[in-house]
Amino acid sequence: MIIGPKIFLLGPTASGKTELTKFCFDNFQLELINVDSTQVYRGFNIGSAKPSINELKQYPHNLIDILDPDTPYSVSKFKKDVDAICLNTKNNRIPFFTGGTMMYFNALEHPLDDIPKTTPKVRLKVEKEFNQVGLGRMYQRLVKYDPLAANNIHSSDTQRVLRAIEVFYESGKPISSFYKKSSVKNMPQYPLLKLGLYPEDRSILHKTIEERVEKMLNNGFVAEVEGILSLFPMLSENFSSLRSVGYKQTYLYLKGKLSHEELKDKIVFATRQLAKRQLTWMRKMHNIEYFNPYEKNLTAKVKERIKKFLDQ
């Protein structure tokens, strides 16, 4: 169980979380904890905008490079790992959670739902159906099986759509029936500061995303994915690691399902959709203090707010 003060830094992809995290680490005694579901995988560097080796030496993060890409990583496993890290944090360092996987942040505040595990047989069945009919038809099935869950899952969120259908096939019950009732009253029993980077000008975020994707491709992103597939040839887009934005599109390109001309546009579009979902998650969360990532005095404001929080 998490005890003691904690700080969250949330924001959409390409909003400047990494640089702000480094600034905060330089100014406070922090224990950095990664909250990015792609950066947990070894070798997934360029496409996840993972800090470089030199950056990680200077700014050590927990929960980066902890798994091979053929290994699943769940919200419940993340929560257990975080509890272990917080119990072992030394030198009075404050756990500082930074990233954009909003389900992980949500799990740190609220009890996890007792959703049943699914068998390999059911997962294979859902994977086969997905390959046959595509994501659009699978989402339509989810609307039929569980309209409440479908209303809370974006139609392009492959992982959550398939997971919900797996649970329905496994248990005969909609995944929404396992959701615990959560409310503002059910807030964590520890001091928590939630800093949110929320771009006031979405056009700047979109431009930054496009520039990042172009830089990724110029820096060898396709070769990175080729290397991953050579080491793990069994990987497909149905593995959670390759469902990640950028990696999925590059995998499809390498399999001849996308042209070279389409690749950049597909990644840019998927990244913008991811950012939109992240911002939607943030709007539904409580007690986030928002900062415009593009304001000139951002670091000064954040430093002042953290200092005030820690001096309470």
Structure tokens at 229: 């597939």
278 and 197 in one domain? Answer: yes
Final residue in a domain of this structure, among 178, 196, 220: 178
Query: Alpha carbon of 261 to those of 29, 110, 257, 266: distances in Å?
Result: 46, 43, 12, 9
The CA distance from 101 to 278, in Å, is 8
143 domain-assigned = yes
Both tokens assigned to 4: 């003691």
Both 31 and 171 in one domain: the answer is no
| Structure tokens that stand for 185 in this block | 């009253």
**Both structure tokens of 29:** 């005694």
**Distance (Å) of CA 199 to CA 25, 159, 282:** 22, 26, 12
Identify the domain boundary among 159, 178, 197: 178
Give the 3-state secondary structure of residue 289.
strand
Q: Can you tell me the distance from the alpha carbon of 291 to that of 302, in angstroms, rounded to the nearest whole number?
A: 8
Together in a domain, 172 and 186: no
CA distances from 27 to 21, 61, 80, 300 (A): 10, 16, 28, 11
Within this chain, do residues 137 and 214 fall inside the same structural domain, yes or no? no
| pLDDT for residue 188 | 55
Q: Are 267 and 213 in contact (CB under 8 A)?
A: yes
Query: Pick from 129, 146, 178: which residue ends a domain?
Result: 178
Does 219 lie in the same domain as 106?
A: yes
In a domain, 1, yes or no: no
What are the tokens at 239?
């593995």
pTM of the model: 0.83
Residue 185: the pLDDT is 46
Domain hosting residue 127, numbered range: 120-178
Q: Length of the chain in residues, anyone?
A: 312
Residue for token pair 């959709």? 273
Are 97 and 191 found together in one domain? yes
Q: Whole-angstrom Cα distance, residue 258 to residue 265?
A: 11
3-class SS at 291? Answer: strand
Question: What is the rounded distance in angstroms from the CA atom of residue 74 to the CA atom of residue 166?
Answer: 15
Q: Is 158 in the same domain as 172?
A: yes
**Confidence at residue 113, expressed as pLDDT on a 0 to 100 scale:** 65
* Whether 264 and 294 share a structural domain: yes
Residue reference for tokens 């929560």: 79
The one-digit pLDDT tens for each residue of the chain (312 residues) are 556 899 999 999 999 999 999 999 999 999 999 999 999 999 999 999 999 999 999 999 999 999 999 998 988 899 999 999 998 888 889 999 999 999 999 889 876 667 777 787 888 898 889 888 988 999 999 999 999 888 878 787 787 888 899 989 988 988 888 776 544 445 556 799 999 999 989 999 999 999 999 999 999 999 999 999 999 999 988 788 999 999 999 999 999 999 999 999 999 999 999 999 999 999 989 999 999 999 999 999 999 999 999 997
- How many CB atoms lie under 10 A from the CB of residue 1? 8
> What are φ and ψ of residue 307, in 5° steps?
-60, -45
Number of domain units in the chain: 2
Strands 30-35 and 94-99, bridge-based pairing: parallel
Q: Give the Cα separation of 83 and 2 in Å (integer).
A: 6
Task: Take residue 250 and report the two structure tokens written for it.
Answer: 């590059």
Are 164 and 261 in a shared domain?
no
Residue 142 placed within a domain: yes
For residue 105, the domain's CATH number is 3.40.50.300
The pLDDT, as a whole number, for residue 235 is: 93
**Quick one: 153 and 214 in the same domain?**
no
102 vs 37: CA distance, rounded Å: 10
Order of strands, edge to edge, in the sheet holding 289-291?
A: 61-62, 30-35, 94-99, 6-10, 192-197, 289-291
> Do 224 and 142 have their domain in common?
no
Q: Is 146 within 8 Å of 168 (Cβ atoms)?
A: yes
Element of type H or E holding 122: helix 120-145
Please tell me whether residues 158 and 193 are part of one structural domain: no
